[in-house]
Structure 1
Amino acid sequence: MSTAESVPTTDHQAQIAARVKAVESIMIEKGLMTSAAVDRLAEIYENEVGPQLGARVVAKAWTDPDFKARLLENASTACAELGIGGLQGEDMVAVEDTDDLHHVIVCTLCSCYPWPVLGLPPNWYKEPAYRASMVRAPRRVLREEFGYDVPESVEIRVWDSSSELRYWVLPQRPAGTDGWSAEQLEALVTRDSMIGVGRPKQP
């Protein structure tokens, strides 16, 4: 697996967009879908589910210890407090990174993923190479494929998501953010940091 290879070129992106548009047109012509339905789906994945919602949850946990405790006890219930939940988020578990422990998420069987907080899974998450190699050699994969060098002194724990439980990571709050508002902190949270293959942005 190579993350560089998984990033489409501009030409490839244009080809994909053209194919998607063609399929969309055919489905509308055949009455299988309406333009309004397509627009609504796009709106949902742009505004109502996705990493920006996960970032809101993480920032809330970074600034509210009581909420953080509830999140670690029952992620689905805590997210529901913020109006976040739904399909593929019925049974979520948040696992917290610490100075001594780093978590990584994978789904070895398919691509189970907590859609309400992370949106749709990236292509590399669904690749058999990621699913197999992350379990066998997480430290090497993080370093070589994602440029994330986890110190040897830090234990790496790999969590295998399933249709019953979908895991995601509560990353550590970056240093130098004392006094920051939740809204400011949201901008530091990345999708990859909630999967465990990257760090939050640094201030």
Structure 2
Amino acid sequence: MGDHDHHHDHHTSNLDDMTARVMALETILTQKGLVDPGALDVIIETYESNVGPRNGARVVAKSWVDPEYQAWLRRDATAAIGSLGFTGRQGEHMNAVFNTPTRHNVVVCTLCSCYPWPVLGLPPVWYKSAPYRARVVIEPRAVLAEFGTLLPDDVEIRVWDSTAEERYLIIPERPAGTESMTEEELAKLVTRDSMIGTGLALTPEARQIGQQP
């Protein structure tokens, strides 16, 4: 875990209350015919899968190609991320944690679901699930393997516990063979899971395969 104590109690219940209220409001608006559930699903899917992760991917790609920006990200991630326009609620108190050939980082919120929405969008269902929150702390290597992320035994895995006071963005390693790629092209290799730590950035070959029909 990180080297500091974490306090979750002050915001866990608030998050649960907010979720319940949003669900209740959505139900009422749907019943009154004011909201189309299908349209809501599209909006949520877009924000979860595209808008949010794309923001984080831009941060990662810029850190790969711009040494000055990377140094700023290490020094003050909140300000560096904010300079790209990615700020707002759930985007405060950011820390960038960099993967290396000998260390892999992964993020969890053990007692709730603190998550940096401005850079990653909506949290995936599994991130909020009790099994993930409990198991990734105890057996991170096994959990990562279940995501298809197989790491050599000599790679240390460090788990960071996210809170309202400390949120984390994992900076995955830059894939090999990308030296000639532009920042925009590099951003397309960065996945949501690689910024949580349950995955790796895509290789150019893997992305091309994924684009095939």
TM-score (norm 2): 0.76
Report the alpha carbon displacement of residue 24 of structure 1 after superposing the two structures with TM.
4.4
* Aligned mate of 2:85, from 37, 58, 83: 83
1:141 aligns with 2:143: yes
Once the two structures are superposed, residues 150-188 of structure 1 have per-residue CA deviations (whole angstroms, 9 ceiling, x without a partner) of: 111111000000111111200000000002110000110
Q: Which residue of 1 aligns with 2:74?
A: 72
Once the two structures are superposed, residues 56-103 of structure 1 have per-residue CA deviations (whole angstroms, 9 ceiling, x without a partner) of: 110000010000111111111001111111110011111000011100
Report the alpha carbon displacement of residue 28 of structure 1 after superposing the two structures with TM.
6.2
1:169 aligns with 2:177: no
CA gap of 1:30–1:199, structure 2 versus 1, over 3 A, is same
Q: Which residue of 2 aligns with 1:131?
A: 133
Report the alpha carbon displacement of residue 45 of structure 1 after superposing the two structures with TM.
2.9
Q: Distance in 2 between matches of 1:175 and 1:104?
A: 21
Q: Which amino acid aligns with 1:103?
A: N
Q: Distance in 1 between matches of 2:69 and 2:77?
A: 10
Q: Which residue of 2 aligns with 1:54?
A: 56
Question: Which residues of structure 1 form unaligned runs of 5+?
Answer: 1-22
Q: Distance in 2 between matches of 1:47 and 1:130?
A: 20
Moved more, 92-101 or 46-55: 46-55
SS at match of 1:50: helix
Q: Which amino acid aligns with 2:53?
A: P
* Aligned mate of 1:103, from 102, 105, 108: 105
Q: Which amino acid aligns with 2:67?
A: P
1:93 aligns with 2:95: yes
The answer to whether the 8 A contact 1:94-1:169 is kept is yes
CA gap of 1:150–1:48, structure 2 versus 1, over 3 A, is closer
Q: Which amino acid aligns with 2:167?
A: R
Q: Distance in 2 between matches of 1:107 and 1:196?
A: 13
The count of corresponding residues between Structure 1 and Structure 2 is 178
TM-score (norm 1): 0.79
Q: State the Cα RMSD in Å.
A: 2.7
Question: Which residues of structure 2 form unaligned runs of 5+?
Answer: 1-24, 205-213
Q: Distance in 2 between matches of 1:123 and 1:28?
A: 23
The answer to whether the 8 A contact 1:49-1:115 is kept is no
Q: Which amino acid aligns with 1:180?
A: M
Query: Percent of aligned positions with the same letter in both sequences?
Result: 55
Q: Distance in 2 between matches of 1:198 and 1:135?
A: 16
Report the alpha carbon displacement of residue 42 of structure 1 after superposing the two structures with TM.
3.3
Report the alpha carbon displacement of residue 26 of structure 1 after superposing the two structures with TM.
3.4
